[in-house]
């Protein structure tokens, strides 16, 4: 059972970290700034800052989850807080993908993202429930 928990924890955390790293490159891949007027420099700076902050947050949260889940002895309260943050974050992303789908020009991309968001949310939700019911 402990091995299964470590696998679930690793899946959720590694996808979070990978998504964060990938998102550093999203503006260049999708040419974000071509949609913004070149004279709107403050907007370009704001979008860049938000993306960097978001990307870094995902990477750091994924790393923090791995550390909290794999270190011994585990600090139950810290683990509950970290997992709760991850559950809320990924539940929000999953719901937003349903309400305002991204990648809608390609159904494979749109539903692939939906599946990944559901998978990561499920991993963290399962872990949180197991931590909460274990004393």
Higher pLDDT, 97 or 3: 97
> Tens digit of pLDDT for each residue in 100-120?
999 888 999 999 999 999 999
Average pLDDT, stretch 8-14?
A: 96
Residues 6+ apart with CB under 8 A from 36: 43, 44, 47
Per residue in 35-79, pLDDT tens?
Answer: 999 999 999 999 999 999 999 999 999 999 999 999 988 899 999
With a CB cutoff of 8 Å and minimum separation 6, the contacts of 94 are 114, 117, 118, 121
Query: What is the mean predicted confidence (pLDDT) over 1-19?
Result: 92
- Residue 1: its pLDDT value, please? 64
Q: Mind giving me the DSSP string for 17-83? A: HHHHHHHHHHHHHTTGGGGS-TT-HHHHHHHHHHHHHHHHHHHHHHHHHHHHHHSSS--HHHHHHHH
Give 80-103 pLDDT, tens digit per residue.
999 999 999 999 999 999 999 998
């Amino acid at each position: 059972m402990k091995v299964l928990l470590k696998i679930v924890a690793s899946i959720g955390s590694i996808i979070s970290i990978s998504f964060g790293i990938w998102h550093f490159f999203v503006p260049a891949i999708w040419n974000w700034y071509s949609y913004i007027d070149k004279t709107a420099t403050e907007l370009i700076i704001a979008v860049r800052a938000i993306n960097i902050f978001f990307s870094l947050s995902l990477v750091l949260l994924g790393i923090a989850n791995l550390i909290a889940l794999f270190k011994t002895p585990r600090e139950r309260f810290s683990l509950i807080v970290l997992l709760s943050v991850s559950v809320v974050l990924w539940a929000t992303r999953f719901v937003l993908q349903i309400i305002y789908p991204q990648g809608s020009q390609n159904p494979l991309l749109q539903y692939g993202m939906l599946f990944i968001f559901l998978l990561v949310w499920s991993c963290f939700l399962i872990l949180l429930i197991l931590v909460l019911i274990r004393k």
